[in-house]
Amino acid sequence: MARIHDLRSFLEVLEEAGQLVRIRKPVSLEYELADVAATLMRESGPAPLFENVVGSPWPIFTSAVASQTRAALALGCKKHEVVQVMQRALDPINGIPPVRVDDAPWKANVRVGDEVDVRTLPIPVHARGDGGPFITGGVVVSKDPITGRGNLSYNRMQVKGPRVFGFNLNEWRHVRQFLDVQEARGERLEVAVAIGLDPAIMIAAGARYDDDELRIAGAIRGEGVKVTRGVTVDLDIPAEAEIVIEGYLAPNERAGEGPLAEFHGYFGDIWESPVFYVTAVCWRDNPIFQTIIPGWDEHVYLGNVLPREPLLLSYVQHVSKRVAGLHIPPYGNGFTAIVAIDKDNPGEPKNVALAAFTAHVNIKWCIVVDPDVNIYDPADVMWALTTRVDWGQDVFLVPGAQGHEMDPTADMRGVHTKIGVDATLHKGRREYTDRVSYEWVDLKEYLG
């Protein structure tokens, strides 16, 4: 069995690496839990396991994959290898299908029908502009009603009643296609929500993939993810989830849902969204609830960093064989790309930036640096921008380009200006080009 195969085994890995902090002080589900987690993320702190949440019988974990360090731990590689590991996992050729098993730890506790009241689950109210408690860290399992293939996605869910959630669903999602088919037939779409998971499954669910995303998780782990049939739905659900909520989207029913902190760092609107009726709630003994702080680093990492970096890498590698690294930093909310190249032609950095723009519409700023710049350190990138860029010569604009409709600087159709910056050293402008540097040490060896 892979070292990490469920949330519990991942917590062990995090704890060994000094990337887990157990918070014993009581915290409120409303705002306080998210405030602590958001502060920890911006202070580059460990991921919190809240062991004492007021009114919750269960501990709550968050910020699993909220940094390059924890993405690397989740994927079992070094920080700079994350993009290659993801590139391999996302190639359909490497997909490993899930494996069916009969039993699952979460079948130990089953509540169905009237026994269910989702308001008793520890669902946080995260940000002060959010419309109420939302499940943000649940992975939605569904199935193509025509081909029968499985699908994973994230769909935030707002508590609406004891057995009812509002279920956010954008236009171009697979689940939307499945629901369209069922609505034309006047039938329900069954869904299940798995909470508390191996981060390989969390990472897979954020990717756009034309097959069952569980194959991505299988590719990451080198073996098929164990799945088991639902208690009230005909779906293959990760067997080692901590908590499972089963139910269906009712055909042709919509209700107001939102607002919630969005990936770009602003609050969104209230949407007219499908309605999710719950038929069962199940959990492992002593389960751990998991959440994602919306509009913050983990949300961006899962949705915009890990699934997109491989695509950008293949585009920039197409125009330059000398790419040394690529990162979509979480603080750019998926709109910024940083590429390191060992340039051998003065025009190469600008071509690399153009390639990044064509890889994905979201990218509106591409900074190209030399390999001596740490692309994971905003301070280092800022240093390169400040000391290696002549704004008159090294910057170019692409006005009127297509961006993401939710880019806050774009017009309603997503049209915006892109900017490419060649932040590589232009030898010859000045004589001094030798950079000050110190050896990077492991501080754990020196501090207490």
What residues line the site for ligand FMN (CB under 6 A)?
136, 151, 153-156, 168-170, 173-175, 206-208, 292, 299, 302-303
**Nearer to ligand FMN (CB atom), residue 158 or residue 279:** 158
Answer with the entry of ligand FMN, Mn ion, none that 159 interacts with (C-beta below 5 to 8 A by kind).
Answer: none
Distance CA 436, CA 433 (A): 10
Answer with the entry of ligand FMN, Mn ion, none that 292 interacts with (C-beta below 5 to 8 A by kind).
Answer: ligand FMN
Answer with the entry of ligand FMN, Mn ion, none that 64 interacts with (C-beta below 5 to 8 A by kind).
Answer: none
Query: Three-class SS of residue 189?
Result: strand
Answer with the entry of Mn ion, ligand FMN, none that 340 interacts with (C-beta below 5 to 8 A by kind).
Answer: none
Q: Which two tokens stand for residue 369?
A: 């640096």
Tell me the closest approach of the beta carbon of residue 146 to Mn ion, in angstroms.
14
Q: How far is CA 250 from CA 167, 280, 412, in A?
A: 11, 15, 30
Query: Three-class SS of residue 337?
Result: strand
Tell me the closest approach of the beta carbon of residue 209 to Mn ion, in angstroms.
6
Residue with tokens 């849902």, as numbered in its chain: 257
Distance CA 282, CA 7 (A): 16
**Nearer to Mn ion (CB atom), residue 19 or residue 151:** 151
Query: Three-class SS of residue 197?
Result: coil
What is the 8-class DSSP label of residue 248?
Answer: E
Tell me the closest approach of the beta carbon of residue 358 to ligand FMN, in angstroms.
20
Tell me the closest approach of the beta carbon of residue 197 to ligand FMN, in angstroms.
13
**Nearer to Mn ion (CB atom), residue 58 or residue 154:** 154
Residue with tokens 């919190």, as numbered in its chain: 48
Helices and strands, counts by H and E, the chain: 11, 21
Tell me the closest approach of the beta carbon of residue 205 to Mn ion, in angstroms.
9
Q: Contact positions toward Mn ion, by CB under 5 A?
A: 151, 174
Tell me the closest approach of the beta carbon of residue 244 to ligand FMN, in angstroms.
18
Residue with tokens 């999602």, as numbered in its chain: 173
Distance CA 388, CA 414 (A): 31
Tell me the closest approach of the beta carbon of residue 172 to ligand FMN, in angstroms.
8
**Nearer to Mn ion (CB atom), residue 41 or residue 175:** 175
**Nearer to Mn ion (CB atom), residue 151 or residue 279:** 151
Tell me the closest approach of the beta carbon of residue 206 to ligand FMN, in angstroms.
4
Answer with the entry of Mn ion, ligand FMN, none that 433 interacts with (C-beta below 5 to 8 A by kind).
Answer: none
Q: Which two tokens stand for residue 135?
A: 């499940």
Answer with the entry of ligand FMN, Mn ion, none that 170 interacts with (C-beta below 5 to 8 A by kind).
Answer: ligand FMN
Indicate if the alpha-carbon torsion angle 80, 83, 87, 90 is positive or negative: positive
Tell me the closest approach of the beta carbon of residue 397 to Mn ion, in angstroms.
35
**Nearer to ligand FMN (CB atom), residue 168 or residue 320:** 168
> How close are the terminal C-alpha atoms of the chain, in Å?
35
- Asked whether 194 and 150 are in contact (CB, 8 A), the reply is no
Answer with the entry of ligand FMN, Mn ion, none that 169 interacts with (C-beta below 5 to 8 A by kind).
Answer: ligand FMN
Cβ count within 10 A of residue 141: 29
**Nearer to ligand FMN (CB atom), residue 175 or residue 278:** 175
Answer with the entry of Mn ion, ligand FMN, none that 336 interacts with (C-beta below 5 to 8 A by kind).
Answer: none
**Nearer to ligand FMN (CB atom), residue 142 or residue 374:** 142
Report phi then psi at 351, rounded to 5. -65, -40
Tell me the closest approach of the beta carbon of residue 306 to ligand FMN, in angstroms.
9
Cβ neighbourhood burial of 110 (10 Å; 0-12, 13-18, 19+): middle
**Nearer to Mn ion (CB atom), residue 151 or residue 333:** 151
User: Where are the alpha helices (H) located in 228-340, listed in sequence order?
Assistant: 297-300, 309-319
Cβ count within 10 A of residue 429: 10
Answer with the entry of Mn ion, ligand FMN, none that 290 interacts with (C-beta below 5 to 8 A by kind).
Answer: none
**Nearer to ligand FMN (CB atom), residue 140 or residue 425:** 140
Residues 6+ apart with CB under 8 A from 55: 29, 122
Distance CA 301, CA 297 (A): 6
| Residue nearest Mn ion, Cβ-based | 174
Answer with the entry of ligand FMN, Mn ion, none that 302 interacts with (C-beta below 5 to 8 A by kind).
Answer: ligand FMN
